[in-house]
Amino acid sequence: MHRGFLFLSAALAFGTAALLPVGAAASGVTAQIGQANLQSRVLVVVTVNATCPAPFWDPSTQTIAYEVVNASVEEASGKEISHGFGGASGQFFSCDNSTVAIPVSVLADTNGPPFHGGSAIVTASVSVVAGTSCGPGCFYNLVSQSATDGPRPVHI
């Protein structure tokens, strides 16, 4: 998969999921913010607990095309705001109602101050897209589900 397409997919998935009410899920997929751990003041690893209860596509003709998990972190730092965004994509779900803990690495934006630890605001989203394969990396008849959690205060 091309890096530009993956980035665009992640951005679209996050934007779509962000329109849902806090803690809401569309058609069953869920996202829940877990722990957030600060490392070296520039990296926050956010655990996103995600569940896909059952296949929402036709398993006889479709398969998962891609899955994207995103997280953003914002923390007050004096009169400035430390912030960052990160995403992970891969094959996380079997859509069998099991919860999967997915670590998402969020780097501090280099144009702002580093994270310092303490209270921060985290938002996370999960998107799962399925479709009919038309060859390697090619899908049509796409269907999707997304969920978001946050903004939520956490300790980093």
| Measured CA angle at 31 (ends 111, 38), to 5 deg | 40
Q: What is the mean pLDDT of residues 53-81?
A: 94
pTM here is 0.79
The pLDDT, as a whole number, for residue 7 is 38
C-alpha to C-alpha distances, 115 to 4, 42, 45, 92, 151, nearest whole angstrom: 28, 6, 12, 28, 17
Give 66 or 7, the one with higher predicted confidence.
66
On average, the pLDDT of the chain sits at 86
The pLDDT, as a whole number, for residue 18 is 38
The pLDDT, as a whole number, for residue 93 is 83
Query: Is residue 1 scored above 70 in pLDDT?
Result: no
* Residues in the chain, total: 156
Query: Is residue 2 scored above 50 in pLDDT?
Result: no
- Please report, for the chain, the start and end positions of each structural domain, with discontinuous segments joined by +: 3-155
The answer to whether the CB of 147 falls within 8 A of the CB of 26 is: yes
Q: What is the mean pLDDT of residues 93-118?
A: 94
The pLDDT, as a whole number, for residue 50 is 96
